[in-house]
Amino acid sequence: MRKSSSSQSFNHPHRRHQGIGTPSPTVHNMKATLLRIWGYMEGEKRLFWFVVAIIAISSILSLLGPYLLGMAVDQVIADPETDTLVTMAVLLMTNYLLHSVSLWLQNYWMIGIAQNTVYHMRNHLFTHLQRLPILFFQERQQGDLMSRLTNDMENVSRTLNTAVVQFTTSILTITGTLGVMLWLSPMLTVLTLTIVPVMYYGMKWITKRTGRFFKQQQSHLGDVNGYVEEMFSGQTIISMFSQEERVKAEFAEKNKALCDAAYWAQTYSGFIPKLMNMLNNISFAIIVGAGGILALNGFISIGVIVTFTTYSRQFTRPLNDLANQYNMILSAVAGAERVFHIIDQTEEQADETKAEPIGRMAGDVTFEEVSFAYKEGETILNNINFHAAPGETIALVGPTGAGKTTIISLLSRFYEANEGVIKIDGKPINSITRESLRSQMGVVLQDATLFNTTIRENIRYGRLDATDEEVMASAKAAYAHGFISNLPEGYETVLDADGQGISHGQRQLLSIARAMLANPSLLILDEATSSIDTVTEMKINDALKTLLQGRTTFVIAHRLNTIRFSDQILVIEGGEIIEKGIHQTLLEADGPYADLVRAQQKEDSVM
């Protein structure tokens, strides 16, 4: 079927092995991360520089206000005429009105730039995830990946929305304010700047700690999200084994780690406004005291003192804003680094240069001396040899971890064999493009994966261009049409996530209908009937008989009564095929397969 009938990956027998998806420590590199974010502004850069120009105009207007106020004070003292007051009032009103309009415009345009940038980043991340090898997802918590796609991306979005404008405004305001203050009174400016070293070292001490804690906060948040998602999906097992107390304890531990990191990140960042407020008051006192002395001695006017008191706050406030924005940027960079860490993961190995699409496959499969290891030195499969003729059913049996699923994963080209060759219709598998190979493979798993959409669309997922009539025909062939017709909305019934709301057997029938609609050449059944009742199993077996006709089928099964009519049974143990044959022949040989049959019969009789 198209990309398999289920989006659920095969279970990896050695998840703890290190591999492609294993997180590696990343070096905090703000410059490189910001440059990468800048790269996603393609198409928005011209507008961004226009916004910067608007910010510059806004900063000039904000500097002009206090200067006009100081002029008004001096002119009123010198000539207290009504016309002078009116003129200065109109100038001030016009200035502040234009300033407000410029602020609105820069925020409006920057929000659009930020959302488009994050849109491209999120698209790139999600698209890249589709190209990563299966091993990556098997070694990652789903919740952690979701956190990077949602929380971390939203963190970047918030920062771009606000911090970029504020950061640029603060820098321009500080530069402009300092220039005007020096022009008005160099002596008073020098006295005002005495607080800057205290401010600098105070900020340095604070931000050195906040960066570390913000990064820890993002990491712990992803950990909590991953744990919650995992526990919610396994809530039935948790209840069945009465593990609620252990789960609560583990969550409390992870939640406490997040709480501690967030507490210290917010606590240290909270020191910034307190420090700035104290230094603002000190600066105000210096200006009023020293300015009064200078005014009494005729060095400056009263208007200059008024202007300076406003400028002093206008000078220190951007410093305060810069510190706060720096914390926001640190948090966004931490989130962006987590996103880029995923984007930097190696994609699934590209097809060979000479690989070509294959036409309709006959289904002739050969494994010739195939060996494979997930990790060097730890062989999972050793010298596997077998041949499946078109239309044959091949059963893979053996203990858990023997290598059954790994054989299927190699056949699906989720991994490449380390030694030997796998052939389909006489062609080495690596000479066939993955897309054309997988488009002709159907999978029915023990746990059918269904999506939060209608039953019709869940079946159509097997072949997206299928008509409604073809969907219904597949459902009838899979013995699913009956129960679908009895539902109030029939084929338009919207399923909950993972198909909740219908029985497990009904979910399996829908999965089989989806595989039938895809019309695959190779079919894989992975414990498709292992967890359902006998009556439902009979229905599913009838549906499977229809599905198996004319297709090469690989069956992974622990319930051996389901494979007794297979054309070949491969008994796998320790990564090797230790027995091969049909059911009756293997029983007569009285070897490992016969032992498995007797053990299961004994188990069934006890139950």
Which pLDDT does position 11 carry in this prediction? 36
Can you list the pairs that 92-98 forms with residues at least 24 positions away whose Cβ atoms lie under 8 Å?
92/65, 92/68, 95/61, 95/64, 95/65, 95/68, 96/61, 96/65, 98/61
CATH architecture label of 362-440+556-607: 3-Layer(aba) Sandwich (3.40)
The tens digit of pLDDT for each residue in 338-379 reads 888 888 887 776 666 677 888 888 889 999 999 998 877 788
Identify the residue with better confidence: 279 or 319. Answer: 279
Which pLDDT does position 423 carry in this prediction? 92
Beta strand 441-445 with 522-526 is parallel
Which pLDDT does position 583 carry in this prediction? 87
| Nearest one of 12, 19, 7, 133 to 400, comparing CA atoms | 12
Q: pTM, whole model, 2 decimals?
A: 0.61
Give yes or no for residue 196 having a pLDDT over 90. Answer: no
Which pLDDT does position 319 carry in this prediction? 67
Identify the residue with better confidence: 308 or 529. Answer: 308
Give yes or no for residue 530 having a pLDDT over 60. Answer: no
The Cα 294–Cα 430 span in angstroms is 85
Share of the chain above pLDDT 70, in %: 86
Which pLDDT does position 370 carry in this prediction? 92
The Cα 295–Cα 302 span in angstroms is 7
Give yes or no for residue 272 having a pLDDT over 80. Answer: no
The whole-angstrom distance between residue 565's C-alpha and the CA centroid of its chain comes to 45
The boundaries of every CATH 1.20.1560.10 domain in the chain are 38-343
CA 451 to each of CA 2, 137, 302, 455, 456: distance values in angstroms, whole numbers, following the listed order: 15, 19, 73, 9, 11
Which pLDDT does position 170 carry in this prediction? 80
Q: How many CA atoms lie within 13 A of 373 on its CB side?
A: 8
Which pLDDT does position 16 carry in this prediction? 33
Min mean pLDDT across 1-5, 270-274, 584-588 is at 1-5
Q: For the residues 226-243, what does the mean pLDDT come to?
A: 74
Min mean pLDDT across 22-31, 79-88, 214-223, 442-451 is at 22-31
Give yes or no for residue 74 having a pLDDT over 70. Answer: no
Give yes or no for residue 20 having a pLDDT over 60. Answer: no
Just give the CATH number of 38-343: 1.20.1560.10
- What confidence category does residue 328 fall into, taking pLDDT thresholds of 50, 70 and 90? confident
The boundaries of every CATH 3.40.50.300 domain in the chain are 362-440+556-607
Q: What is the largest CA-CA distance in the chain?
A: 120
Identify the residue with better confidence: 306 or 248. Answer: 248
Share of the chain above pLDDT 90, in %: 8
Q: How many CA atoms lie within 13 A of 27 on its CB side?
A: 3
Q: For the residues 52-61, what does the mean pLDDT come to?
A: 86
| Nearest one of 355, 515, 511, 363 to 436, comparing CA atoms | 355
The Cα 204–Cα 211 span in angstroms is 11
Min mean pLDDT across 335-339, 395-399, 539-543 is at 539-543
Give yes or no for residue 92 having a pLDDT over 70. Answer: yes
Query: Can you say whether residue 511 is alpha, beta or left, with left for phi > 0 and alpha for psi between -120 and 50 degrees?
Result: alpha
Compute the mean pLDDT over every residue in the chain, rounded to the nearest whole number: 79
Which pLDDT does position 413 carry in this prediction? 86
| Token code pair at residue 139 | 């070694």
Which pLDDT does position 385 carry in this prediction? 93
Task: State which of 235-244, 461-470, 597-606 shows the largest mean pLDDT.
Answer: 461-470
Which pLDDT does position 15 carry in this prediction? 35
